[in-house]
Amino acid sequence: MSDSRNSRTIPGGEGPRLLTADAIAQLVGGELRGDGTVRVSAVAPLDRAGGGDLTFLAAARYAPLFSRTQAGAALVSPELANEPGAVRARIVVSKPHEAMLRVLPELYVAPPRLPGVHASAVIGRGATLGRDVSLGAHVVIGREVVLGDRVTLEPGCVVGDGVEIGDDTHLFPGVSVYPRARIGRRVMIHAGARIGSDGFGYVFNDGAHQKIPHVGRCVVSDDVEIGANTTIDRGSIDDTVIGPGTKIDNLVHVGHNVRIGALCLIMAQVGIAGSSHVEDGAILAGQSGLAGHLTVGKGARIGAQGGVFGDVPAGETWSGYPARPHKEALRAQAALFRLSGLMKTLERLIDRERR
């Protein structure tokens, strides 16, 4: 079977275009220094850029790399505008990172969405498809599913009965959505993520772990992004809810009945046990874990690998195992490492005291 339309909506399709340094300066509202006719077609880091690449310098410690870069043009922050280097065009701009965000979509044009339903897609009874949806090869959609306008399901996605997916949401290949989940608008779910799987809940009875039926839903709000192979369980009785604008990285586990607020950042391999709450704007660094039934307050931060066993107040940074306020955790770590050098003398003192 030949197919002209599979995976055509994956970003990055068309390949780079050409921009002059002049055009870039205008685009980002920067000040051009040097040759405005220099043309670039791609973006690259200082040490790997060539003459056709745009690069950037935003921190003094990268000045040595800047001095040797082969890049054709560079976005440079004002305080570094005069660093030595042979780059032919400098665009001086207050926030080079944000400027780069404006340049990238001009250089790398996503391929046009070509809506349509692949012949091999399977659509359940009573499903409703919005306008211009794109269903890739081997997609399976259950009964009574509702897809908004311009929804993209890449090849191999499986969407269970009664699921609702909002406008402009994009599921990458091989995502599974369990029945009755509700997914908002402009959501991106990366390959292999599992949305709404049964939670881990049993009652030990008659010599066996009896499964608690899971009848709650998994609700993913607007503008959420979910990483590859992440798993988010449905609620047991209540719902599991991911708030608007929250971003979740790869291989994260979100247990049943968890509530995550708006605009949180949940980094790779974090685990959140059942019924915990993560309030708006909180940041959980990689491999950290939350026990069940606790609250991480608004804007709080948990350090990488932190093990949280109780509530964390709003705005605080906690780290370590078991997690404590970050400064206390650092002080304890420092004390521990100093202690090991003092141990011999300390034991002599203690010995004498005990005698």
State the greatest distance between any 2 C-alpha atoms of the chain, in Å, as a whole number. Answer: 88
- What's the chain's Rg over C-alpha atoms? 26
Q: Which residue of 17, 29, 48, 79 would you call a contact of its own copies, by CB under 8 A?
A: 48
Q: By C-beta, is 107 or 151 nearer to its own copies?
A: 107
Q: Choose among 191, 39, 42: nearest CA to 106.
A: 42
43 in contact with its own copies (CB under 8 A): yes
**Does 140 engage in binding with its own copies (CB under 8 A)?**
yes
Using CB under 8 A, which residues numbered 274 to 333 contact its own copies? 286-287, 289, 291, 304-305, 307, 309, 320-322, 324, 328, 331-333
Q: Tokens 């922050």 sit at which residue?
A: 77
Of 73, 81, 95, residue with least CA distance to 29: 95
Residue 274 CB, nearest approach to its own copies (Å): 10
Q: Looking at residues 100 to 139 of the shown chain, list those that interact with its own copies (rule: CB under 8 A).
A: 100-101, 104-105, 107-108, 111, 118-125, 136-138
Site for its own copies in 191-230 (CB under 8 A): 191-192, 194, 197-198, 200, 202-203, 205, 207-215, 223, 225, 227-229
> What gap in Å lies between CA 52 and CA 47, rounded to an integer?
14
x/- track of binding to its own copies for residues 237-266 (CB under 8 A): xx------x-x-xxx-x-x-x-----x-x-
Q: Which residues contact 102 (CB under 8 A, 6 or more apart)?
A: 27, 28
Cα-to-chain-centroid distance, residue 81:
32
* Binding of residue 50 to its own copies (CB under 8 A): no
**For residues 293 and 105, what is the distance between their CA atoms, to the nearest angstrom?**
42
Q: Which is nearer to its own copies, 131 or 209 (CB)?
A: 209
Bin 279: left if φ > 0, else alpha if -120 < ψ < 50, else beta: beta
- What does the alpha-carbon distance between residue 353 and residue 350 come to, in Å, rounded to a whole number? 5
- Which one among 166, 233, 240, 277 touches its own copies, defined by CB under 8 A? 233
- Alpha carbon dihedral 224, 291, 281, 249, in 10-degree steps, equals -40
Dihedral, CA of residue 150, residue 155, residue 156 and residue 160, to nearest 10: 10
CB neighbour list of residue 161: distance below 8 Å, 6 or more residues apart: 124, 142, 143, 144, 145, 179, 180
> From residue 59 to residue 98, what is the string marking binding to its own copies with x (rule CB under 8 A)?
--------------------------------------xx
Q: Is 267 in the site for its own copies (CB under 8 A)?
A: yes
- What minimum distance in Å lies between the beta carbon of 276 and its own copies? 11
- Nearest residue to 242 via CA among 271, 262, 214: 262
Shortest reach from residue 129's CB to its own copies, in Å:
12
Q: At its nearest, how many Å lie between its own copies and the CB of residue 139?
A: 9
* Least distance from its own copies to the Cβ atom of residue 57, Å: 13
Stretch that binds its own copies, among 1-9, 65-73, 77-85, 294-302 (CB under 8 A): 1-9
Kindly report the backbone phi and psi dihedral angles of residue 62, in degrees, each rounded to the nearest multiple of 5, phi listed first. Answer: -95, 5
Contact call for residue 189 and its own copies (CB under 8 A): no
For the question of residue 253 being annotated catalytic, the response is no
CB atoms within 10 A of CB 176: 20
Least gap, CB of 281 to its own copies (angstroms):
10
- Which residues are known catalytic residues? 256
